[in-house]
A and B are shown apart, each in its own frame.
Chain A
């Protein structure tokens, strides 16, 4: 499998406090990779460095062989990376439809865009029903679906998702994980940050464990599910 994303010795500091202390990981084409870790471990920071939302104090990020370490965030999506940010971050005062169209902001193919949109409405019928509703008035789960749909509107090859199940009821959580699996089956590579380690490890191919800015464990997701230290720390067993 071709290497899609590679992160080398990545370091980030907020002021003087290090948030990432030189981490390495890679994502191959077609994989679902989980990045798990406790609150404040640096998971969000790791995703932010890939899309350029935080400055790095060292290291490199390569996407499909290209160095994107210093690429500004607004040039990332047209390269094929979509980011579903933590807390969904939909545009609250725009309609569902407007939010989705902003997901396709950099695309120039008018007719195909309409096709992507109808595909997304098929996958998320609730979004179709609420097309004209302001995003800020949607429920948390619906906002998560909108954030995912918006990211998919860019037709990404790699999608980064930051805690898509956060704060959702169990039914919504299952639905979100089903959707992640479907997205992956359609050929999109997935890098998933999750608090819900059990579910994340269940759908992931491989996983990395982040602890206070360092990667302390990694391997096949099925192996990590059996690992005693992981079970204790992240699976509540």
Chain B
């Protein structure tokens, strides 16, 4: 029982990291109407920035996290401006999709060029002690991941529901032309969305590499795909959906890895996705919007 609960907490922790990534995926999809397959690689960019600042330059951890998040934010804005924005008018979803895959390879190869292919040991970025409560022994990173993701999701919900740029994001996601008639800059709003999503991916990068301390140019690929699955599972475009999808996915993954087979755990994760989509094609929280004519 104790080990089951410990596994559940570990699943929750991994799941909260997936959730942070999935929220970025889902926001970009909801507002820019595109699947940013390079989103996972932003995680890797953030982790390398943190690694460089903290380990290579021996600067304070706080500074490393700040640079990682800020760096990802700028990367996100730049990628959108350079790679995706010029394609927006052309209106071909396929062109955007292929470009996103191209950006993903570009980021991975850039990291390969700068840092080489050998995995870096990423240690003590989040310097928290293991917590022992009764029979439970929980690593600090596990708790921090859960707490940080809760804080981020709450802050994001407040931002979206209580601020004007947040309302603008909702408006653009529902009707781009109508939003621009309200005086909302669609380009500016999309840019802001990329900034927020990428900054969150930066946080996820630091957390992920603190929990699983090995860093390579492909570090972001698998979590990126999992987070995409989480976003679809929750109902792509829905922020609460991404949150729940992420948590469910993390828990299933850890439990499958522990109790069924560590080789099969990813296959099980994807099977769950397929089953959920067969039963509810819009995902757990997705809704079919009926338009009145």
Q: Which residues of A contact B (CB under 8 A)?
A: 51-53, 72-78, 82-83, 85, 87, 89-94, 98, 101-103, 105-106, 136, 138-140, 143, 150, 154, 167
User: Which residue of A94, A105, A150 contacts B174 across the interface (Cβ within 8 Å)?
Assistant: A94
User: Is the CB–CB distance between A85 and B291 below 8 Å?
Assistant: no
Q: Provide the residues of chain A in CB contact with B168, threshold 8 Å.
A: 102, 105
User: Which residue of A51, A77, A103, A167 contacts B293 across the interface (Cβ within 8 Å)?
Assistant: A167
- A81's nearest neighbour on chain B, judged by CB, is B181
User: Is the CB–CB distance between A140 and B184 below 8 Å?
Assistant: no
User: Is the CB–CB distance between B289 and A94 below 8 Å?
Assistant: no
User: Is the CB–CB distance between B180 and A53 below 8 Å?
Assistant: yes
Main secondary structure of the interface of B (DSSP, over half): helix
- Taken together as a complex, chains A and B put the C-alpha atoms of A75 and B291 apart, in Å, by 28
Nearest-neighbour CB distance to chain A for B153, whole angstroms, equals: 19
User: Is the CB–CB distance between A74 and B177 below 8 Å?
Assistant: no
Q: Provide the residues of chain A in CB contact with B185, threshold 8 Å.
A: 72, 74
User: Which residue of B171, B183, B292 contacts A91 across the interface (Cβ within 8 Å)?
Assistant: B171
- Taken together as a complex, chains A and B put the C-alpha atoms of A72 and B187 apart, in Å, by 11
Main secondary structure of the interface of A (DSSP, over half): loop
Give me 17 other A-B pairs in contact (C-beta within 8 A), A102-B171, A105-B164, A154-B183 excluded: A73-B177, A74-B181, A74-B185, A76-B183, A85-B177, A89-B177, A91-B174, A98-B167, A101-B167, A102-B179, A102-B184, A103-B182, A105-B167, A106-B182, A136-B292, A138-B292, A154-B182
User: How many interface residues does chain B have, given as a range?
Assistant: 20 to 34
Q: Provide the residues of chain A in CB contact with B180, threshold 8 Å.
A: 52-53, 72-74
Q: Which residues of B contact A (CB under 8 A)?
A: 164, 167-168, 170-171, 174-175, 177-186, 289-293
- B189's nearest neighbour on chain A, judged by CB, is A74
With A92-B174, A94-B170, A94-B171 known as contacts, the answer to whether A74 contacts B289 (CB < 8 A) is: no
- Taken together as a complex, chains A and B put the C-alpha atoms of A167 and B179 apart, in Å, by 23
The 4 A-B pairs at the shortest CB distance, nearest first, are namely: A106-B183, A73-B180, A89-B178, A77-B183
Q: Provide the residues of chain A in CB contact with B182, threshold 8 Å.
A: 74, 77, 102-103, 105-106, 150, 154
User: Which residue of B171, B175, B292 contacts A143 across the interface (Cβ within 8 Å)?
Assistant: B292
User: Is the CB–CB distance between B170 and A78 below 8 Å?
Assistant: no
Q: Provide the residues of chain B in CB contact with A105, threshold 8 Å.
A: 164, 167-168, 182-184
